[in-house]
Structure 1
């Protein structure tokens, strides 16, 4: 269910390729998948696979569906977003996000130069510049690359995923995609599958977890990546190890070459800059799912209901929107409904999605950063230590 049902909201809105072709599955066949998945609670995706027989150039909008059918509502919303994407320019689909990533990359040399200064102010400025730039590249870039949202080409998408996830973020591509794309997106807030438990550390106190432990995230990411590589086939593991080593050693070499730092100082500055935005990164990841309804793998609601009840948007924030991307901040609901849309496109369809959900009496959940922080500080034991209760959707109405 996780992969096939997601196709209805992700691949239906892929932009037209060269020559006017659309690289997606047959919408009519995926409608059958969604309707079948709405009644079949078996989370195993193999039960819901329908062979695609669509030919290149077979461009059509989603079929008309009956009101009140949850699968039909999902198809209708997908049709609206598909039409919006169809008339959007390359800049709106990819260019705006590439401009932000490119700007972040251009600021990195300035950060290296500042680190080489004897002035404490310039040194701290260098850490800030590298910290913000690193967040754009490793969070925004890696997140979009994992969903293949940076470009249309499949092959080029794999290259960008390797660059942003392995070279820049020190994590094997299969590790990031399995945990985030397949499990978290395929089974959002379904206990044991995509319930955000990866972010929980019940043996830590509230203050330590919320404000100290995130600073170790760069080191933990590297350790998690190395551990995952031990379970990969040897050839793929060596390939990932090569690119991760290239990124890590390359970062140290640039610090030593441009900033004039010694090996120890270069390593320290590298991890210091990479941990600068770690605290809000952890906060964002737990704020938007934990504390919302959790569901059983065998009695999960239909996809549109599951997403609207278990995903929350935070308000727009200039720093977080630029460093993490709209899909992780103010357009998280839109991102879970249409995971292959870029940050800018999610922001563009946000008014349409929110209006559609409210018109159909579905929740469109939003809350402020400070409100969620207060909730977690007050209820840390209940939310982050104890097992979350399973919620029956009927009780929410």
Structure 2
């Protein structure tokens, strides 16, 4: 692991700021820049333009709340610790409707530290064994925008009053801002229709989000808390890459799609840097006869559909919630 780390750090040191952080910051900026057009399109009475508005807003929302929250949880947006904390609160709480402290703890300190360790941290935010497989895979994820803030409220137990109050205010600010803009800019006369439009836009990428969430770890080797292997073996055996996907790679981020192995080995890297070191990492692992696991989206979906009971119902219990994939 130290040998590979030196090679990756050398590649990072030779890279410009634009490669290390700039490209991902530009993608996030573009998502925010697209929001005014989305609100104006949603004001249209023409079905095609309205649908385009939903697509633009849903895509921008996914970039901000999935790619943005993921980068922010790892402090990969800024080299400054203070700015890193600010961006974590902004992306996770204001934009993502979750609590930053619980999200960072669950994702960075549990999921990354204990990947596929039984009882500690797999990647399943979404494990509801009482649901039939069709409902679980294709219908229930649409409720993620509603469930997320409710789960966030549950995570506030045991936190300080100031921290809980901040989270409630930030989450409320994010939700109300979108609602207010739909009323004022998009011209929704009915609050119920505005809320329905919010749900539609926020749920647009919920299915692939949940699918990606479970595809890349569940069904792979799991480890005992008392007999876990060295880090490089844990991550290469317990993490899987999906192929490059023009839509999901840029919307969710390379580190969640085609560079998930690289991300788990080097979680401090931005999405673009994960993509840049991917050839180096894959070549090194193969030279050392270590697994470099890859599978297609369709193949994993078929696997989970046909082995739902084995993988999702009777799988070893994981007690820690993972709030940010």
TM, length-normalised to structure 2:
0.96
- What CA distance in whole angstroms lies between the structure 1 residues aligned with 2:73 and 2:116? 20
Q: Are positions 1:124 and 2:51 aligned together?
A: yes
Matched, 1:296 2:202: no
**1:105 equivalent among 23, 32, 41:** 32
Name the structure 2 match of 1:317.
245
The answer to whether 1:187 aligns with 2:95 is no
Structure ID, larger Rg: 1
User: SS at 1:112's partner residue?
Assistant: helix
How many residue pairs get aligned? The number is 316
1:197 Cα deviation from its structure 2 partner = 4.3
Q: 1:342 to 1:198 in 2, by over 3 A?
A: same
Q: Is structure 2 residue 158 aligned with structure 1 residue 231?
A: yes
Secondary structure, aligned partner of 1:199? coil
Distance 2:262 2:220 in 1: 17
Asked if 1:247 corresponds to 2:164, the answer is: no
Pairing 1:135–2:84 present:
no
Distance 1:115 1:236, change over 3 A: same
Spell out the pairing of 1:47-66 with structure 2 (5 A cutoff).
none
Q: Structure 2 CA distance, aligned partners of 1:129 and 1:338? A: 32
CA RMSD of the aligned region, Å?
1.0
**How far 1:192 moved relative to its partner?**
0.6
Q: Which runs of 4+ in 1 moved over 2 A?
A: 195-199
List alignment gaps of at least 5 residues for structure 1: 1-73, 390-397
Could you tell me which residue of structure 2 aligns to residue 332 of structure 1? 260
Please give the per-residue CA displacement for 1:315-366, whole angstroms capped at 9, x wherever unaligned.
0001001110000000000000000100000000000000111111100000
Is 1:93 aligned to residue 20 of structure 2?
Answer: yes
Q: Which moves more between the two structures, 215-224 or 191-200?
A: 191-200
| Cα pair 2:93 2:99 within 8 Å, conserved | yes
What's the counterpart of residue 360 of structure 1?
A: 288
User: 2:124 touches 2:214 (CA, 8 Å); kept in 1?
Assistant: no
CA 1:134–1:197 in structure 2 vs 1: closer, same or farther (change >3 Å)? Answer: closer
* 1:151-198: CA deviation from partner (whole Å, max 9, x where unpaired): 100001111111100100011101111111111000000011012343
- SS at structure 2 position matched to 1:198: coil
User: Which residue of structure 2 aligns with residue 160 of structure 1?
Assistant: 87
1:249-284 CA-partner distances (Å, limit 9, x unpaired): 111111111101132111111111000000000000
Q: Which sections of structure 2, spanning at least 5 residues, go unmatched? A: 318-325
1:335-346 equivalence runs, <5 A = 335-346=263-274
Alpha-carbon distance in structure 1 between the residues aligned to 2:115 and 2:156? 25
- TM-score of the superposed pair, with normalisation by structure 1: 0.78
Residue pairs, 1:206-221, within 5 angstroms: 206-221=133-148
Partner Cα distance (1:322, 1:357) in 2? 25
SS of structure 1 residue aligned to 2:76: coil
Q: Secondary structure at the match of 1:180?
A: helix
